[in-house]
Amino acid sequence: MEETIVKTAREMLMHTVSLVGGDRAQTHGDKVDNHLKIANLWSMYLHNMGERAKYGFNAEDVANMMELLKIARRQSGAHNPDDYADGAGYASVAFECAEAAQVEQTETATKRIGSEVKKALTNDA
């Protein structure tokens, strides 16, 4: 695929028009259908979050939802191996985000417990 170099806002818009209406339309399928599928998958994800949804999304949620975007593209467009590779990539990013959140929770709990122990020892002295 040839790299397109744009230097002005007009050139960027013209380039974008060629992408949205060109090969990408064939690869990803109908834009409206694709976005309806994404909306449905993201709505179910949000529903499945339950009470946690009230507090917004975290990094893992974003990666999971981007993976759902790739799944929607698989359902809407032509067979595109990149959609599978990208989906796997987002799944691995979600894993890394979940791992980082676990570490952060453990560190926060350890600091809280340490602070409580220190406070208790100080009060006993």
Side chain identity, residue 40:
N
Residue extents of the structural domains in the chain: 30-124
pLDDT tens by residue, 102-111: 999 888 888 8
- Decide if pLDDT at 1 tops 60: no
Tell me the C-alpha distance between 89 and 77, whole Å: 19
pLDDT tens by residue, 6-55: 889 998 888 888 877 777 777 888 889 999 999 999 999 999 999 999 99
Residue 54, pLDDT score:
93
Best CA proximity match to 101, nearest among 58, 67, 53: 58
